[in-house]
Copies of this chain bind each other. A is one copy, B any other.
Amino acid sequence: MQEHENIFEAFLAEKGLKFTLPRKLILDTVFGLHEHFDAEQLYDLIHRVSKEVSRATVYRTLPLLVEAGLIQRSVRSESRDTFEHIWGHPRHAHWVCKVCGSVHETDMQDAVRILQAKARAQNFSLTEINLTLTGICWKCQNHATESQ
């Protein structure tokens, strides 16, 4: 059994909930992915493997995974909520280009340290950090320059 399964099972047990097959399938698919994803993409992916999980269960399970600290909401893409796993992944910031829509990631350990100190100072028990930087990427700036 993989560690994220242990974590989720323990989390569910704590709340008197069951580690069912649909929940296991969803969890494993999420941790088999290494990109941001939304509920619909996840539902499609699971369906390639098995027809066992309904859309409703996908939508119901995602908030449980968030609560368990395994995933977090990420940059909202168009009109959909997106997620990414955080368990086992370093904190990173998202740089969103408002021209081409690309999303880059960078390390943010230095900023994280500052924020964690701030959280301690005000007695805030910090679990998620969501840092999104919006602007124009270097590629799109170059395009703008060329076309002048």
Contacts and interface: CB of A to CB of B under 8 A. Distances in A.
Contact of A111 (B114, B125, B128): B114
Contacts of A135: 119, 124-128
Number of copies: 2
Contact of A134 (B114, B123, B130): B130
B138 A124 contact: yes
Interface in A60-80: 72, 76
Contact of A141 (B98, B111, B125, B127): B125
Given A119-B133, A124-B137, A128-B132, 10 more contacts: A93-B115, A95-B119, A98-B127, A110-B114, A111-B114, A114-B114, A123-B141, A125-B141, A129-B134, A130-B134
